[in-house]
Amino acid sequence: MAARSVDFMTAQVTPGSPPGRPLTGPLVGVQASFDELGTPLRDVTFCVVDLETTGGSPESSEITEIGAVKVRSGEVLGEFQTLVNPGASIPPFIAVLTGITDAMVASSPTVDQAVPAFLQFAEGCVLVAHNAPFDVGFLRAAATAHGRPWPSFEVIDTARLARRVLTRDDTPDCKLATLARVFRSSTTPKHRALADARATVDVLHGLFERLGPLGVQTLEELSTFSSRVTPAQRRKRHLADRLPHVPGVYLFTDDRGRVLYVGKSKDLRTRVRTYFTASETRSRMGEMVGLAADVTGLECATPLEAEVRELRLIATHKPRYNRRSRFPERATWLKVTVEPFPRLSLVRDVKADAATYLGPFGSRRVAEQAVNALHEAFPIRQCTSRLARSPRGGSACVLAEMGRCVAPCVGAVDVEAYATHVTAVRAAIATDPQPVIDAVIRRIRAFTADARFEEAIVHRDRMAAFVRAAARSQRMSALARCPEVVAARRTPEDGWEAHVIRYGRLAAAGVVPAGHPARAGVDTIVAGAETVEAPPPPKPAATAEETERILAWLEQPGVRLVELAGEWSCPVDGAQAHTAWLDTAYAARDGVVPCEDRRRLRPVHQPAR
């Protein structure tokens, strides 16, 4: 067990700084500036755009007109309008609908001239359109077709926004013409680009008037607005104001201080605000926010530290609204017992008893599948009674009669001969699962030859459960054997993020800023690391999920090992080498559609004979 079970040290290394600083309490509240709260809508420049085209798909149609209006704080800053020569005849029904004819566009700019001019007009703006996927899709396709990079515009769809804000009592539908009447637009839409863009401006401002009382004041809140977030939730958005824009972990608590939910984010304030203003639409999260009275933020030096701290806090507090990682102590291990005639047993924990363990398994059902796979390959006993070194005679069980047990219970095999089978079991768990794979595949082929496909699937799942558990256990136990691993990776700011891992547990995390000596900074982080005692093998000194997160970080490109105490290696013929084809097989199975789902087919009328 570790000397400290919840907290570890995190460091931001600067000249004269102490080795580390514990993060055990809430962050100190500060007065937030308007910039930290988001971009106020009054400061945003919107470019409202509308297109006329020859059809409904950019793959088979062309743009015939572009119209746009640039607005900020309710004031029109400029307008853009141009007809576009599509390079082909305009279909008659489109000409009737829009009033745009071939003669009108004959001398107009081509799309490779018009689109760059529009992009220059819209530069630095937030794009707005009614049914934005249509208009933006055409513009993006035209830019791409002519070798123009598409800017990373923020896009607001007034049709989608209207469906979230307005009810059936407000409007029968969300068509532009209907909304223009609802909001008393000064311009009537008439399937011409500039007129429709002007009408969309009035619709946008009308929607702003509806959203203001709901607490939507910033671009971020507008972009992620959802009508499923209640006014009561929005009124609590001030709870995020004390949180900084840094990576970390946040804890929602109720009025009695009980932790309701734990989460992590690369930006604490931005993530927490979404629970009150916008994109969080899960019903249980709405219920949780309704009970929340406070939010506490814990700043973390690195994203990996945030992941690990989240897992530890969930395991400690077991919040009712977290669905995963709450009960790591309920994991199941497969144990090869230590006795004259060992057997396979499912246990809750790993002891320092020199036994061989496989796991942990997330569920007992999967662990039982792995046990069955081992019994398929090795004829060790399956009874649960303890046997003396010289068992008395008697009658053997049915498994012995089937050749699936060497029957030590009746003295059919001595301790030494039985030990050869147990040694093979331990080798399959620790180094090479091939004997198990071969044995199960033989059974699968026999079943498929007899068209007993359901039984073949059962054995396939048993093999997969064992192979995946062995691969996971071999990877984790390799790291858990190392007293210390120090690794570092470049940050986007050209500094270094460093982590100290001891026996598979994150003992320290910190950042060495750009321009400071990297090695000296890493040494400072190591000096403040948590003391971790060696656990009984193969168990790491942390939960399996934490060790897997650490392994995922270590395996990322660009991670460099700074120091390594012990041996970190996995067997060449280990189970990891067999997981790829298993994943491929399961992916192929999931992609198969056994029969056509006819429930979505429209009924066909058959006239009476």
Catalytic residues: 191
Beta strands in 139-195, from DSSP E residues, in sequence order: 155-157
* Structure token digits, residue 59: 């793959």
Based on the number of CB atoms within 10 Å of its own CB, is 250 exposed (0-12), middle (13-18) or buried (19 or more)?
Answer: buried
Task: Please report the sign of the dihedral spanned by the C-alpha atoms of residue 255, residue 257, residue 260, residue 266.
Answer: positive
Alpha-carbon separation of residue 512 from 85, 298, 556 (angstroms): 57, 20, 19
Closest CA to 200 of 345, 23, 48, 341: 48
CA distance 545 to 548: 5
**Number of C-alpha atoms within 13 angstroms, CB side, residue 134?**
18
127: phi then psi, degrees, rounded to nearest 5: -75, 140
Q: How far apart are CA 380 and CA 341, in angstroms?
A: 8
Is the C-alpha dihedral spanning 439, 441, 443, 445 positive or negative? negative
With CA atoms as reference, report the closest residue to 459 among 374, 373, 367. 373
Q: 161-188: buried (b, 16+ CB within 10 Å) or exposed (e) per residue?
A: bbeebbeeeebeebebebbbebbebebe
Q: Which of 222, 191, 190 is nearest to 204 (CA)?
A: 222
